[in-house]
Amino acid sequence: MGVLLVLIVLAVLLLVGSVGMIAVGRRRARRAPYLEPPVTRPPEAPRPVVVAPEAPVAVEPEPVVVAPEPQPEPVVVAPKPRFRDRLGKARSQFAGYVGNVLSRTSIDDATWDDLEEALILADVGIGTTTAILDDLRARVKSEGITTPQELIAALKADLTAALGDADRSLHLDAGVTNVWLFVGVNGVGKTTTIGKLGRRFNEAGTPVVMAAADTFRAAAAEQLELWSKRVGADLVRGNEGGDPGAVVFDAVQRAAAKNVTLVLADTAGRLHTKVNLMEELKKVRRVAEREPGKVTEVLLVIDATTGQNGLVQAKQFGEAVGVSGVVLTKLDGTAKGGIVLAIEKELGVPIKLVGLGETADDLVDFDPHEFVDALFDA
């Protein structure tokens, strides 16, 4: 019994001891938690950027960028070019001979030679030169002219008189759609002149419609289109090789619809044959006359630098379409200023406008007095 008692006491003691140990262990465990040893990782390589495919988005139409309409150049009122400033070559040559004559004390054979040479070199033409000098000789006798100064004054007056008092106005009729046809061979300056005139009318507040009736060359229509944009004019153009009459007809209709009173029509300067060209011009003219259109000017454009050669062409155009006036271009770049006299004497057509340069402002009305003064002015 005593042994049993001892065994029980021992068992109890053992039980109590182990419970105590567990409790102490738990307490320890709470106080010092287990720490993982730090892991040293190699630096991560940069991850490749994976661009996830975008979710399909409803595609918006690209905005249509409308290029702004080209605006006409601002109108800067430039001083009009003057003959005196622009006739450089013609003036220096002619005035040189005049200086020779004036440097002598009397009128002798050398005087007449100088005057003849001056007029011929200025491209006045043999016939007109002879007529002018014959008249001058007669005046020397009848008026008792003895000094070179009087002689030069008389020549100046003769030249001005030879250019006469022709009607140089540009006609615009009321109540119709005026059509001005520009004719002449390629390269003389038709398109440029139309551009310059467009600018002039625009400045004056009178819009014009331009008709690109030279359908033979695409470049001609493009050039006129550039001018129309620069000066703010309406343009009617057709297809390359199309009917030029149709272009003029459409331009008249457009002008009439917009209450514009003037159509400036460019025409071809070259076709396969001269006969074709003249026939085509006649047809364009007929179409332009259809109501409400009326051809009030046919302006023959002549390049002054071609001198006397220009006269031959001029006669052909004159015969085909009837020319009402001449536009003499490029007078700024030639010593052949005397062509002015030859044109008026031989063609019997007044020079109405003169081109004195390539810019929009370089077109002036022809003024015989100013022109002759400029020629004599050293």
Strand partners, 183: 300
Q: In the bound complex, what is the minimum distance in angstroms from residue 189's beta carbon to ligand GDP?
A: 3
Q: Which range in 129-137, 238-246, 315-323, 353-361 contacts ligand GDP by CB under 6 A?
A: 353-361
Based on CB atoms, which residue is closest to ligand GDP, 140 or 278? 278
Q: In the bound complex, what is the minimum distance in angstroms from residue 377's beta carbon to ligand GDP?
A: 20
**Binding to ligand GDP (CB under 6 A): which residues in 177-206?**
184, 186-192
Q: For residues 51 and 353, what is the distance between their CA atoms, to the nearest angstrom?
A: 72
Nearest of 285, 230, 238 to residue 76 by alpha carbon: 230
Q: In the bound complex, what is the minimum distance in angstroms from residue 304's beta carbon to ligand GDP?
A: 8
Q: In the bound complex, what is the minimum distance in angstroms from residue 313's beta carbon to ligand GDP?
A: 12
**Binding to ligand GDP (CB under 6 A): which residues in 302-331?**
329-330
CA angle 313/122/197 to nearest 5° reads 55
Count the alpha carbons within 13 Å of 261 in the hemisphere toward its beta carbon.
11
List C-alpha distances in Å: 268 to 93, 211, 212, 351.
35, 12, 9, 21
DSSP for residue 331: G
Query: Tell me, what amino acid is at 171?
Result: H
Based on CB atoms, which residue is closest to ligand GDP, 148 or 189? 189
Region of residue 100 (phi > 0: left; psi between -120 and 50: alpha; otherwise: beta): alpha
Based on CB atoms, which residue is closest to ligand GDP, 190 or 285? 190
Q: Which range in 74-82, 156-164, 245-253, 352-360 contacts ligand GDP by CB under 6 A?
A: 352-360
Tokens (6 digits) for 374? 């400029």
**Binding to ligand GDP (CB under 6 A): which residues in 31-90?**
none
359 binds ligand GDP (CB under 6 A): no
Q: For residues 140 and 157, what is the distance between their CA atoms, to the nearest angstrom?
A: 13
CA angle 75/229/181 to nearest 5° reads 100
Query: Tell me, what amino acid is at 358?
Result: E
Binding mask 259-288 for ligand GDP (x = CB under 6 A): ----------x-------------------
Based on CB atoms, which residue is closest to ligand GDP, 324 or 329? 329
Nearest of 251, 255, 190 to residue 223 by alpha carbon: 190
Based on CB atoms, which residue is closest to ligand GDP, 269 or 337? 269
Strand partners, 264: 180, 210
Q: In the bound complex, what is the minimum distance in angstroms from residue 265's beta carbon to ligand GDP?
A: 12
For the chain, the straight-line distance linking the first and the last C-alpha, in angstroms and rounded, comes to 165
Q: Given candidates 123, 280, 297, 332, which one binds ligand GDP under the rule CB under 6 A?
A: 332
The size of the interface with ligand GDP (CB under 6 A), counted in residues, is 20
Based on CB atoms, which residue is closest to ligand GDP, 111 or 190? 190
Q: For residues 153 and 145, what is the distance between their CA atoms, to the nearest angstrom?
A: 10
State the pairing for strand pair 351-355/325-329. parallel
Q: Given candidates 148, 307, 333, 350, which one binds ligand GDP under the rule CB under 6 A?
A: 333
Q: In the bound complex, what is the minimum distance in angstroms from residue 226's beta carbon to ligand GDP?
A: 11
Q: In the bound complex, what is the minimum distance in angstroms from residue 73's beta carbon to ligand GDP?
A: 16
Q: Which residues bind ligand GDP (CB under 6 A)?
A: 184, 186-192, 223, 269, 301, 329-330, 332-333, 355-358, 362
